């Protein structure tokens, strides 16, 4: 394969020799210029003065009197003119989206030399279309007539009326906006192109220092570019070389051919460098071996990156990559820049050098992620108890960020624990530790003009922190260049160096935005951060290396005019390659087409040309696409593959396949934990003399699933604590328990009558007071600061009030009774045999005496049964609705009897969800109430003891439950895969 740029370099060097430096070469991009210079050096074989090389954009800028303006500066200026002309009170935030759209439209109008006055014509009267439009061609007239005929707003159509009102001011806005830019000497790119194109005819040969301008590898020319090239050709100052060797770009049915014949005819080459000669049925026959083309479907973006390893190793094995340490004949093309890092980590060790030409988007960096979290946090700022406070989720996101943990790890951890412990839904600034970085980050920003200084302080601190922690391998390797990332080798990118470089770039971006907005009117904090994000997205940080050696990793546009023997194209999906068309324009399609502005056919032809040119000289082409169907992602391969398969299959050796993964669910072996000596030692902590105690809830856990018991009691696992934004059932239960304790505590060892309960039920002020106090303690976790409940908390407080009143109403049927205690706690030794005595603890919600019978009461926030069939059923884990609540209250009764022998006990369970029904909390069996627990205790105690002995039996493992219903809400089911 002879690269296109090599052929151009050869013929030009043969013609101009040592006078080459007198000429200027113009390329579509910088990458093509570098490869051209490389080929010149190879062919010359000796030192020579290099010619001037420019991109087409750089050529226009060099010929213009105007300087390119910053995008944000343009938006701010456009907004000020819009407000002045429209007399609108629209905020900059609301203007931003369609301001971007207008800038793009104005850019197109100028690059395509459209008549802006006629395009943005104000059509008050449709008949006026025939007046003073004689200078327009018939195509433009027809476009205007068709659009306004179909569009003229009917009465009551607010959308059309709004469009027409805006359309009326567009030319005035376009004109005044450009006028001020001209005064400033600034311009958007289209203005520069138009100025050069419209003024070029006045330039003579002597106005150009270069002997000639040689245009190489261009294709889709705008009218302004055509005007420049035409004038240079007419004065004998231009030569043109088109990369049109591929037969596909000459096929009339291929959109890639849209401008080919026009360019070849209008701008012919001085020297013939093509290697085709015979035209057959509209195509050119290439005398070469069929290239191999593989289309590979992979069900993942990262999976595509990983598959690169296999492809490259195959190319090395087949000798298509003869020198793995160089591999400059191979390129990985990334239409989706998000796959850059996965690709870099997937390149095999055999490849010694790589060159990343596309750069890495600043918006994908770690510091950009941190700034985005900070932005969300600052945008959510509110007042709490008179001081600024931040939403806890955004605070946690900042605290969990790696860059914060490098500098403030201990204090960040402490603050996270504090937020959870005190259930801080909003985090007041008074909670922030004194750590310097945390104080900088959590300083409230309420005015956009202070944000730049705020961010500069954070970025400076992070940079210095990373510098202080810099690995000794990189000491002394600082660089004055701040637009490149130093990469010593691809397998060790120097993480700290990367992060520091990103921070430098972000600092510059903040400074740039600050300077741009210096004269802006008031904007919101939200808009500032949105503009900053936009700037970061448009900035790429280059990987510094040897640009003309090693495996090349590049974007689609960087492949223009450059050839490779081996191409690996990722994200070869429809909608990604080519990009999905989007009508992001204020100018309607009909008018765009009539005035020669670019429409979707133009974009399609450009992408088609890039693709077919890219593969035209390749020997091996691998096209990987994502097969997943998810949301708007169809999993469909690019249309170009189908064109190759059905239109051009004679030119390629095509292979297509889909990489599949074995997704059959593996047979999951039951999890069983044998009781090793280590585990038995942990169990011994629950024996008498140990520091742990069994409980009724642990016993229920063991019955439901011995493995769950193991996780909790032996390994100490628990669900991760987090801030509760709403009152969950456990907190709701705690509040209710405490309310009942407060209410009855005043009557300890006293008789409670129906009148007492009625008095409490009627005393809403008292109930409000204790509800607010209990909320402060159990939910807000700040019992010193009781406050009125608002919003959802008020509603929950009212629900609690109704439950308390209804519970007291049920209690009236048991009056008079003597209240004994609430939250009666015990923690004692329980002897099962001479060999086994265990510690056991519990907390009885309430004890009272009715007719000389002690009621052991347990409150439950849900619903359940107060009747059971038999004692064995309480211990039977195979039952889906095992009445575990009854077992728990029986355990409490057992231990109360141990501590108070001879007591007559009647267990009861209050189910809060059932209290508004015809409800009796007394436990029943066989239709009879359990009025004396002692009568059933022998059987219960026997099974209870057997279960505890099983727990301590070294021969009985902790195994999974066989009842899958027990796993539905288990926090550990992800561990055992049930």
- On whether residue 409 sits in a domain, the answer given is yes
| Under 8 Å between Cβ of 350 and 313 | yes
Counted domains in the chain: 5
Domain end marker among 544, 578, 604: 544
Instruction: Read off the pLDDT band of 305 (50, 70, 90).
Output: very high
Report the DSSP pairing between strands 924-925 and 354-356. unpaired
Q: What pLDDT is attached to residue 128?
A: 46
Q: What pLDDT is attached to residue 477?
A: 41
Q: What pLDDT is attached to residue 94?
A: 84
Could you tell me the two tokens for 93? 């935030």
Same domain assignment for residues 332 and 481:
no
pLDDT in tens, 160-208: 666 677 788 899 999 999 999 999 999 999 999 999 999 998 887 777 8
- On whether residue 669 sits in a domain, the answer given is no
Look at residues 762, 335, 365 and name the one whose alpha carbon lies nearest to residue 557.
335
d(CA 531, CA 145): 39
Q: What pLDDT is attached to residue 284?
A: 44
d(CA 102, CA 166): 11
φ, ψ for residue 906, nearest 5 deg: -120, 110
- On whether residue 672 sits in a domain, the answer given is no
Average pLDDT over residues 674-687: 97
For residue 380, what are the domain limits? 363-544
Same domain assignment for residues 936 and 815:
yes
Domain end marker among 516, 544, 572: 544
- Lowest-confidence region among 115-129, 466-480, 540-554, 690-704: 466-480
Same domain assignment for residues 441 and 533:
yes
Per-residue DSSP letter, 303: H
d(CA 330, CA 315): 10
Half-sphere exposure of 344 (CA within 13 A, CB side): 20
Same domain assignment for residues 461 and 571:
no
Q: Is the pLDDT of residue 152 over 90?
A: no
Could you tell me the two tokens for 823? 């939250």
Would residue 281 be called left, alpha or beta, if left means φ above 0 and alpha means ψ between -120 and 50 degrees?
Answer: left
Average pLDDT over residues 955-961: 95
Same domain assignment for residues 225 and 96:
no
pLDDT in tens, 422-462: 999 999 999 999 999 999 999 999 899 999 999 999 999 99
CATH for 654:
3.40.50.300
CATH for 226:
3.40.50
Establish whether the linkage from the previous residue to 916 is cis, with ω within 30° of 0. no
CB burial class (10 A; 0-12, 13-18, 19+) of residue 97?
exposed
| Under 8 Å between Cβ of 964 and 978 | yes
Could you tell me the two tokens for 274? 């093509």
Q: What pLDDT is attached to residue 473?
A: 40
The pTM of this model reads 0.80
d(CA 297, CA 637): 8
Half-sphere exposure of 31 (CA within 13 A, CB side): 21
Same domain assignment for residues 234 and 372:
no
Q: What pLDDT is attached to residue 130?
A: 47
- Cβ neighbours for 28, distance < 8 A, ≥ 6 positions apart: 55, 56, 217, 218, 219, 557, 560, 561
- On whether residue 50 sits in a domain, the answer given is yes
pLDDT in tens, 308-343: 999 999 999 999 999 998 899 999 999 998 899 899
User: Which residue is listed with tokens 């020669």?
Assistant: 596
Same domain assignment for residues 523 and 607:
no
Instruction: Read off the pLDDT band of 702 (50, 70, 90).
Output: very high
Could you tell me the two tokens for 500? 């520091």
Per-residue DSSP letter, 932: -
- On whether residue 667 sits in a domain, the answer given is no
pLDDT, averaged across the chain: 89
d(CA 453, CA 539): 21
CB burial class (10 A; 0-12, 13-18, 19+) of residue 217?
buried
d(CA 218, CA 56): 9
| Under 8 Å between Cβ of 606 and 219 | yes
Same domain assignment for residues 585 and 704:
no
Average pLDDT over residues 617-636: 88
Q: What pLDDT is attached to residue 880?
A: 80
pLDDT in tens, 340-384: 989 999 999 999 888 888 778 898 899 999 999 999 999 999 998
d(CA 940, CA 931): 15
- On whether residue 635 sits in a domain, the answer given is yes
Number of neighbouring beta carbons within 10 Å of residue 589? 14
Q: Which helix (H) or strand (E) holds 230?
A: helix 223-234
pLDDT in tens, 467-511: 887 643 444 443 333 333 333 344 444 566 778 989 999 999 999
pLDDT in tens, 245-299: 888 898 889 999 999 999 999 999 999 887 544 343 444 444 567 899 999 999 9
Same domain assignment for residues 908 and 824:
yes
Average pLDDT over residues 616-620: 95
pLDDT in tens, 856-909: 999 999 999 999 999 999 999 998 889 999 999 999 999 999 999 999 999 999
Could you tell me the two tokens for 258? 């849209």
User: Which residue is listed with tokens 């191999």?
Assistant: 292
Question: Can you state the angle between helices 525-537 and 92-111, rounded to 10 degrees?
Answer: 30
Same domain assignment for residues 478 and 619:
no
Q: Torsion angle of alpha carbons 514, 520, 526, 532, nearest 10°?
A: -30
- On whether residue 670 sits in a domain, the answer given is no
User: Could you write out the DSSP letters of every residue in 528-593?
Assistant: HHHHHHHHHHT-EEEEES-TTSSEEEE-SGGGTT---SEEEE---BTBBTTBPP----SS-HHHHH
- Cβ neighbours for 969, distance < 8 A, ≥ 6 positions apart: none
Look at residues 668, 728, 732, 629 and name the one whose alpha carbon lies nearest to residue 960.
668
- On whether residue 296 sits in a domain, the answer given is yes
CATH for 822:
3.90.320
Same domain assignment for residues 484 and 607:
no
Instruction: Read off the pLDDT band of 973 (50, 70, 90).
Output: confident
Average pLDDT over residues 636-665: 88
Domain end marker among 544, 573, 606: 544
Q: Torsion angle of alpha carbons 187, 193, 199, 204, nearest 10°?
A: 120
Same domain assignment for residues 825 and 937:
yes
């Amino acid at each position: 394969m002879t690269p296109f740029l090599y052929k151009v370099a050869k013929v030009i060097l043969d013609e101009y020799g040592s006078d080459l430096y007198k000429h200027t070469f113009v390329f579509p991009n910088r990458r093509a210029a570098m490869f051209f210079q490389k080929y010149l050096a190879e062919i010359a074989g000796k030192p020579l003065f290099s010619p001037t090389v420019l991109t087409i954009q750089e050529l226009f800028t060099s010929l213009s009197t105007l300087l390119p303006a910053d995008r944000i500066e343009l938006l701010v200026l456009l907004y000020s003119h819009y407000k002045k002309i429209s007399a609108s009170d629209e905020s900059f935030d609301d203007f931003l989206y369609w301001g971007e759209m207008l800038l793009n439209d104005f850019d197109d109008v100028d690059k395509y030399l459209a008549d802006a006055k006629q395009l943005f014509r104000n059509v008050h009267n449709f008949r006026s279309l025939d007046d003073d439009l004689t200078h327009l061609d018939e195509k433009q007239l027809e476009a205007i007539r068709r659009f306004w005929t179909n569009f003229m707003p009917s009465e009551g159509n607010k959308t059309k009326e709004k469009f027409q009102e805006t359309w009326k001011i567009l030319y005035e806005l376009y004109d005044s906006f450009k006028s001020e830019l001209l005064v400033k000497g600034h311009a958007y790119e289209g203005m520069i192109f138009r100025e050069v194109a419209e003024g070029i005819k006045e330039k003579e040969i002597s106005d150009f220092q270069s002997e000639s301008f040689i245009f190489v590898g261009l294709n889709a020319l705008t009218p302004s570019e055509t005007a420049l090239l035409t004038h240079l050709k007419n004065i004998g100052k231009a030569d043109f070389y088109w990369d049109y060797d591929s037969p596909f770009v000459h096929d009339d049915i291929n959109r890639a051919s849209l401008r080919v014949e026009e360019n070849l005819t209008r701008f012919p080459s001085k020297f013939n460098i093509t290697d085709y000669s015979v035209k057959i049925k509209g195509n050119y026959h290439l005398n070469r071996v069929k290239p191999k083309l593989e289309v590979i479907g992979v069900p993942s973006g990262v999976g595509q990156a990983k598959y690169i390893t296999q492809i490259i190793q195959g190319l090395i094995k087949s000798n298509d990559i003869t020198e793995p340490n160089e591999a400059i004949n191979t390129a990985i093309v990334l239409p989706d820049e998000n796959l850059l890092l996965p690709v870099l980590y997937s390149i095999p060790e055999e490849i010694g050098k790589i060159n990343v030409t596309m750069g890495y988007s600043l918006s994908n960096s770690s510091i950009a992620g941190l700034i985005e979290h900070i932005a969300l946090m600052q945008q959510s700022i509110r007042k709490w108890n008179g001081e600024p406070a931040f939403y806890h989720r955004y605070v946690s996101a900042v605290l969990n960020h790696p860059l914060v943990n490098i500098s403030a790890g201990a204090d960040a951890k402490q603050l996270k624990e504090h937020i959870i412990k005190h259930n801080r839904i909003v985090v007041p600034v008074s909670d922030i530790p004194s750590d310097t970085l945390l104080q900088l980050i959590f300083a409230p920003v309420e005015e956009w003009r202070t944000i730049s200084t705020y961010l500069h302080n954070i970025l400076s601190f992070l940079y210095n922190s990373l510098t202080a922690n810099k690995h000794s391998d990189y000491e002394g390797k600082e660089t004055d260049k701040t637009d490149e990332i130093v990469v010593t080798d691809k397998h060790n990118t120097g993480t700290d160096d990367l992060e520091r470089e990103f921070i430098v770039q972000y600092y510059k971006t903040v400074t740039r935005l600050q300077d741009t907005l210096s004269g802006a009117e008031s904007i919101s904090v939200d808009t500032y951060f949105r503009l900053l994000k936009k700037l970061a997205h448009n900035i790429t940080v280059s990987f510094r290396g040897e640009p003309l050696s090693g495996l090349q990793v590049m974007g689609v546009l960087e492949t223009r005019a450059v050839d490779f023997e081996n191409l690996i194209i990722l994200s070869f999906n429809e909608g990604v390659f080519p990009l999905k068309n989007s009508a992001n324009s204020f100018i309607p399609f009909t008018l765009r087409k009539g005035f020669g502005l670019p429409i979707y056919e133009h974009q399609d032809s450009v992408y088609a040309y890039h693709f077919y040119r890219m593969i035209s000289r390749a020997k091996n082409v691998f096209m990987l696409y994502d097969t997943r169907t998810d949301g708007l992602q169809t999993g469909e391969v690019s249309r170009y593959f189908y064109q190759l398969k059905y239109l051009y299959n004679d030119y390629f050796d095509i292979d297509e396949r889909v990489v599949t993964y074995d997704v059959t669910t593996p047979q999951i072996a039951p999890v069983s934990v044998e009781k090793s000596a280590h585990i038995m030692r942990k169990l011994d902590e629950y024996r008498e003399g140990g520091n742990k105690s069994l409980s009724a809830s642990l016993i229920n856990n063991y019955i439901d699933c011995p493995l769950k018991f193991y996780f909790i009691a032996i390994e100490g696992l628990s669900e991760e604590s987090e801030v509760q934004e709403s009152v969950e059932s456990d907190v709701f239960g705690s509040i209710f328990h405490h309310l009942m304790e407060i209410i009855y505590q005043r009557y300890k060892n006293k008789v409670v009558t129906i009148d007492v309960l009625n008095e409490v039920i009627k005393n809403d002020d008292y109930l409000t007071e204790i509800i607010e106090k209990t909320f402060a303690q159990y939910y807000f976790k700040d019992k010193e600061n009781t406050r009125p409940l608002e919003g959802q908390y008020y509603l929950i407080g009212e629900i609690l009030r109704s439950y308390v009143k209804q519970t007291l109403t049920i209690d009236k049927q048991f009056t008079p009774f003597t209240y004994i205690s609430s939250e009666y706690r015990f923690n004692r030794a329980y002897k099962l045999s001479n060999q086994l005595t265990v510690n056991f603890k519990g907390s009885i919600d309430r004890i009272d005496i009715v007719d000389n019978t002690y009621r052991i009461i347990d409150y439950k926030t849900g619903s359940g049964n107060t009747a059971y069939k038999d004692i064995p059923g309480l211990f039977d884990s195979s039952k889906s609705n095992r009445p575990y609540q009854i077992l728990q209250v029986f355990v409490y009764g057992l231990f109360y009897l141990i501590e108070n022998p001879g007591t007559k006990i009647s267990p009861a369970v209050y189910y809060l969800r059932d209290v508004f029904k015809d409800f009796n909390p007394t436990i029943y069996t066989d239709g009879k109430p359990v009025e004396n627990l002692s009568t059933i205790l022998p059987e219960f105690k026997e099974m209870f003891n057997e279960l505890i002995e099983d727990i301590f039996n070294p021969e009985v493992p902790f195994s999974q439950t066989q009842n899958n219903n027990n796993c539905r809400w288990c926090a550990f089911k992800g561990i055992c895969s049930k």
